[in-house]
Structure 1
Amino acid sequence: MTPAARGRPRSFDRGAALARAMETFWEHGYESTSMTALTSAMGINSPSLYAAFGSKEQLFREAVALYDATEGASVNRALTEEPTAHAAVATVLRENARAYTTAGRPSGCMIVLAATNCSEPNAAAQEYLAEWRRSGIEDLTRRLDQGVRDGELPAGTDASAVAHFYTAVLQGMSVQARDGASRADLERVADQAMTAWDAVTAQRRRSAPSPPPPTK
């Protein structure tokens, strides 16, 4: 091999490499995933990784976005295409019961599990996933608010509280999947959560507390 050939940048499929990085972060978490593990999984060397993605954190951010666009696509469709808020939430729960336990893929949800307890140098990655989780609650809240406007849910329903409740169910399902729960186990959780629908959506928004009376 000539010196020029040795110095030529190695070509690779960036999209395929990113998908492999996504699965590595998903399975092992941000902080536990070494650069050696990433380059091995992606089939590239460190200079190529830095040239293509900038840094480990930037690679992680791209991997999370890819996860949302691929693994999260069915959930996003449920929120926009199901005719009712009830159907949307039920579909989200059942779709995630399937997705969290798909054979040949890491279990659970990458956005829930991949950066939940990072050390200070990696706090930005932890906060990045926290932002994604908060965004998910906001998306669900908007869908529930639409249900109120459509007359499906009672006026005054605390859509934010309902969204937080069902997000907590989803996050618990993700942890259970990582612990070995089966699809059938998670589907039972989803079905039980939906039996609580009427009680959960009956909760009303809390009014702001009245200011204390002025002192004399």
Structure 2
Amino acid sequence: MERTIYNASVTERNRGRPRAFDRDRAVLDAARLFWRRGYSGTSTRTLTAALGLSTSSLYAAFGSKAGLFEEAVRTYAERYREIYQQAVAEKDIQTVIERILTDSVHEFTQPSDTHPGCLISSAVMTDSTSTLDTSAYVAELHSSNEQALLVRIERAIQDGELAAGTNAAVLTGLIQSVWHGLSVRSNVDTAREDLLATAQLAHQLICQQLTSPTS
């Protein structure tokens, strides 16, 4: 039976695949390996040993090592898109900013048995593949999230929630810069409470500036 997985047409073979194959778990375990070792540093042999799959089963399920890497990146990247979508739906802009920062910290620091770390940062900071332009995908994700935030800030200005002279692009860039800093720090094992303290202070300082008489 022919299956198309990320533009790779492969013939699925059940031989060698455990009956209780858990795709979500396999993607999580692979993502954790890629996060720790990078793409080149994670061999197919390492993946098959960690996932409990034969090489043929891994290729049948994901098309290739690159296909597995792509699925891992996309799976966890979409969590951050959802965070932004939920945040910008909030009624007031201060809550929008708070949720983007604090909800992201909670996502960055999920327990390691259920989350691989901030894979979208590590994926673009380490090596990628010749068959998958991971950097381009992650750049598109960040651009999409940034645009959603920019539109929400512009609406807050139009509604009078923010001063008419507020520079929406600069404010968006500031929030995104804080977000990226939190993401990078999460990849060097900074404790959740420390990241939350940073996020909360950044939120407080930004909101104070936005609501001050001279802003």
**Residues 7, 141 of structure 1: CA spacing in aligned structure 2 closer, same or farther, 3 A cutoff?**
closer
- TM-score normalised according to structure 1 size: 0.74
Match of 1:208 in 2: none
**Residues 130, 117 of structure 1: CA spacing in aligned structure 2 closer, same or farther, 3 A cutoff?**
farther
- TM-score normalised according to structure 2 size: 0.74
Match of 1:102 in 2: 110
Write out aligned runs for 1:40-55 (5 A): 40-55=49-64
Residue type of the partner of 2:91?
P
Note if contact 1:27-1:114 (Cα within 8 Å) is conserved in structure 2. no
d(CA) in 2 for partners of 1:198, 1:91:
13
2:15 is equivalent to residue 8 of structure 1: yes
Please point out which of 139, 163, 172 is paired with 2:172.
Answer: 163
d(CA) in 2 for partners of 1:27, 1:145:
39
Q: Deviations over 1:155-202 (max 9, x none)?
A: 353322222211111111122222232122112211221133247659
2:130 is equivalent to residue 132 of structure 1: no
Residue type of the partner of 2:77?
D
Match of 2:101 in 1: 93
d(CA) in 2 for partners of 1:186, 1:22:
22
Larger Rg: 1
d(CA) in 1 for partners of 2:145, 2:46:
29
Write out aligned runs for 1:1-216 (5 A): 8=15, 10=17, 11=19, 12-70=21-79, 73-80=82-89, 82-105=90-113, 108-118=117-127, 121=130, 124-198=133-207
**Residues 156, 187 of structure 1: CA spacing in aligned structure 2 closer, same or farther, 3 A cutoff?**
same
State percent identity of aligned pairs. Answer: 33
Query: What CA RMSD, in Å, does the superposition of the two structures yield over aligned residues?
Result: 3.0
d(CA) in 1 for partners of 2:132, 2:177:
22
Note if contact 1:31-1:115 (Cα within 8 Å) is conserved in structure 2. no
Runs of at least 5 residues in structure 1 that lack an aligned partner in the other structure: 1-5, 203-216
